[in-house]
Amino acid sequence: MTKKKMALAACSGMSPVGLVSRVAAADTREENENVISICMGATSADREGFRGLIKKYPIIAINGCEGECVNQILAQRDVKPVKTINVLQELNKQDLKPTDVSRLDEEGERCVQFIKEKVKKSIDDLKD
């Protein structure tokens, strides 16, 4: 994985794809010391500590659905992600369907593993 620090900004929506987005981002962050995660709630609320953080590192936006809330919130702060992943689109291509907004079942875990691989590939593609 990358030696360059990257940031992941994941959907925080209360939907099954929102859960998959958050878990995939959290797992990827735990597995790579050069990856940080961005709190979209704090970013949306324009919390002081996050104003500079979102401009400091390249960000991969992990949107849950077509609403692309992550991209919209970042755009409101004049930040453009270096890569965008739409979790719902990616899962649909593989006929994967998470079902719960707060718990991962076997299918949800398969979804997370698939999205984690997409995120890791994006990170590797963007490294120096």
Q: Is residue 41 situated within a structural domain?
A: yes
The reported pLDDT for the residue numbered 71 is 98
Question: Number of structural domains, the chain?
Answer: 1
> Which of 67, 36, 6, 29 lies closest to 75 in space, CA to CA?
67
Low-confidence ranges of the chain (pLDDT < 70): 1-3, 128
The reported pLDDT for the residue numbered 72 is 97
> Which of 82, 92, 95, 90 lies closest to 118 in space, CA to CA?
90
The reported pLDDT for the residue numbered 1 is 45
Q: Is residue 91 situated within a structural domain?
A: yes
Q: Is residue 128 situated within a structural domain?
A: no
Q: Is residue 47 situated within a structural domain?
A: yes
The reported pLDDT for the residue numbered 127 is 80
* Domain range enclosing 18: 6-123
Q: How far apart are CA 116 and CA 99, in angstroms?
A: 18
Where do runs of H (alpha helix) occur along 32-82? 40-44, 48-56, 69-76
Q: Is residue 1 situated within a structural domain?
A: no
Q: How far apart are CA 21 and CA 118, in angstroms?
A: 11
